[in-house]
Amino acid sequence: MKVAEVVPEFADAFGFEEFNRMQREAAPAILERDENVVAAAPTASGKTALAELAICRTLERGGTALFIAPLRALTNEKESEWERFEELGYSVYVVTGERDLNPRRAERADILVMTPEKTDSATRKHDSARYSFITDVDCCVIDEVHLLDSDTRGGVLEVTVSRLRRICDPRVVALSATMPNIEDVAAWLDAPPETTFEFGDDYRPVDLHAGVRTYTHGDNAFADKYRRLYTALDLAEEHIRDGGQALVFVSSRQDAVRAAGKSRDEIGKRDIPMGARGDYDFHTEAKELADDELAKAAPDGVGFHHAGLAKDDRDRVEEWFKEGKIQLLFSTSTLAWGVNLPARCVVIRDTKYHDPLEGEVDISPLDILQMLGRAGRPGYDDVATAGSSATAPTPTSTGNCCARARRSSRGWRRIWTPTSTPRSRWGRSATSTT
Ligand SMILES: Nc1ncnc2c1ncn2[C@@H]1O[C@H](COP(=O)(O)OP(=O)(O)OP(=O)(O)O)[C@@H](O)[C@H]1O
Ligand SMILES: [Mg+2]
C-alpha cells in the first residue's frame, strides 16, 4: 500500500513510501470514516503516521488539526518533522508553556501542536481573543493517550479533552501504547468497535531484546547508584564500541549530570573509543552551550538531558544524539515517551524516583514500557537491546525484587512476552522473578 496512492496530495509529508502492516489495517477507518478513533499499538510501530493520516483528511477539507503530545521533546520533534507539511503550504504552529504565544499565528495555523497543559489553559480561556483559536479545531489527535493513567497529569488530559469536545466537538483520534483497558478509552470517546484498534507486540517492526540485569546492593544507597551506573555502562559498552548509541534513564536531573560526569572518567579508563574531540566545529558549538557541565561532556560523546536545561541546550543534545556525535546520553523521563532517537541500547538505571510527598516510589510499568520502547526505532537500528537493573536475589533482597516484579506484573509481563524472554541475553529475565 503506497503512500502516494492512498494520499497522493500529501505523499511528500510522509517520511517513507509504503505503509506498514499496522498502518494498512488502520488507515481505512481514519480516511474513509468520520467517527472517533482509538488505536493502541507497540512502541515504534508507526502510530505517528495514523495521526498524519487524520491530519491529511482534515486539511484536505480545509479544517484545522490539533496534535496533543505530552512531552516538549515530542512537540519539538513534530515541529521539525512537519516542516514537510509547511512545504506543502500548510502552517504548523507549536503552542507550549515555554514559548511566547502569537495569537494571530495560532489562529492562522492549519496544524496546532500543543501539550495537554497548554490545551487545558487555552480551552479554559477560549472566550478570550488570545485563545479563541482553540474553538476552530476540527480534528484533535491525542498522542500517548495512556497519559490518562498518570496520577498527576491524567486528570488534566481527561478534563481538557472533554472540555474541547464540548466547545467545538472535533473528531478525536487517540493513539496509545498497548494498554489493558482500551475499551474504556473507546467508550469514553464514543469510538465504535470499527474504529477501535488494538495491535499486539508482533506489530513492532524492530525486535526488542529486553531483560533485567541484577546487581547485589549494599547498605549505602549512594554507592548502589554507582553500582547501577557501572552495570549500565557494562551493558552499553558493546553497543558503543560497535558504533551504536545508548540511552540511559536515571531518576533525577542531578543524577543525569553526575552520571554523565562519572561516565566520562570510566570511558577513559575502559579506553572506549568515542567522542568527537577532533571535530573543531563541534567543539566550538559545544562551547556555546549554556550549561558548563554539558559543554565539557559533549565533546567526549557523553550528554545529559533533563527539563532543567535551557531549550537551546536540549535541542542541541537531541540533535547531536541523532547525528551520533553524542553516543551515550543520560536522561530523566523527558525523553521517555514517543521520541524517535537512534538508541540501539536503552538502560533504565533507576526504577524508583523520589517523590517529595511519598519518598521513594517505583516508576510505573507504563513508563518502563515506554522507556524501553525508545530502543530500536525503524530507520535508525534494526535490532535493539533494552533493560533495567534490579537488586540481586540475595537472601536479604529477594523479597524486594520479587515483590516489585509481582506488584507490577502486568506491565512487566507485557514487556517480556511473548518473544523476548527466550532470547534474553542477560542474567535473570523478569518472568523468572514473578
Ligand atoms: N511505513 C513505514 N515505513 C518506514 N518507516 C516507518 C514507517 N512508519 C513509521 N516509520 C518510522 O518508524 C519510526 C517510529 O515511528 P513512530 O514514532 O510513529 O512510532 P510510534 O508507534 O509513535 O512509537 P511510540 O509508541 O514510541 O511513540 C519513525 O522513525 C518513523 O519514521
Ligand atoms: Mg508515537
Domains and CATH numbers, the chain: 3-203 (3.40.50.300), 208-433 (3.40.50.300)
Residue at 342: amino acid letter: P
Question: What's the 94 CA to ligand 2 centre distance in angstroms?
Answer: 17
Tell me which ligand sits closest to the C-alpha of residue 39: 1
Count the Cβ atoms, other than its own, within 10 Å of residue 237: 17
Residue ranges of the chain with pLDDT lower than 50?
393-434
What confidence tens digit (pLDDT) does each residue in 127-142 have? 999 999 999 999 999 9
Question: What's the 267 CA to ligand 1 centre distance in angstroms?
Answer: 32
350 Cβ contact list (under 8 Å, min separation 6): 225, 228, 249, 250, 251, 255, 363
The pTM assigned to this predicted structure is: 0.84
Residue ID of nearest Cα to ligand 1 atom 30: 46
Helix (H) or strand (E) holding 386: strand 384-391
Question: Which grid coordinates belong to 140?
Answer: 484533535
Ligand 1 pocket test target in 340, 346, 369, 380 with most atoms within 8 Å of CB: 340
Output the pLDDT for position 391. 58
Ligand 1 lined by 46 (C-beta under 6 Å):
yes
What confidence tens digit (pLDDT) does each residue in 38-72 have? 999 999 999 999 999 999 999 999 999 999 999 88
Ligand 1 lined by 176 (C-beta under 6 Å):
no
230 Cβ contact list (under 8 Å, min separation 6): 266
Ligand 1 lined by 15 (C-beta under 6 Å):
yes
Output the pLDDT for position 132. 95
Residue ID of nearest Cα to ligand 1 atom 25: 43
Strand ranges for 319-383 from DSSP E? 328-331, 345-348, 352-355, 359-362
Question: What's the 364 CA to ligand 1 centre distance in angstroms?
Answer: 24
154-168 vs 116-124: helix crossing angle, rounded to 10 = 40
**232/237 Cα distance (integer angstroms):** 9
- Ligand 1 atom nearest to CA at 3: 1
Question: What's the 144 CA to ligand 2 centre distance in angstroms?
Answer: 7
Question: What's the 378 CA to ligand 1 centre distance in angstroms?
Answer: 6
Residue ID of nearest Cα to ligand 1 atom 14: 44
Question: What's the 44 CA to ligand 2 centre distance in angstroms?
Answer: 7
Pairing of strands 359-362, 352-355: antiparallel
First-to-last C-alpha distance (Å) of the chain: 42
Output the pLDDT for position 383. 63
Ligand 1 lined by 263 (C-beta under 6 Å):
no
Output the pLDDT for position 216. 81
Ligand 1 lined by 43 (C-beta under 6 Å):
yes
What confidence tens digit (pLDDT) does each residue in 331-370 have? 998 888 878 888 999 999 998 888 888 888 888 888 888 8
**141/320 Cα distance (integer angstroms):** 29
Output the pLDDT for position 387. 64
Question: What's the 269 CA to ligand 1 centre distance in angstroms?
Answer: 37
Ligand 1 lined by 324 (C-beta under 6 Å):
no
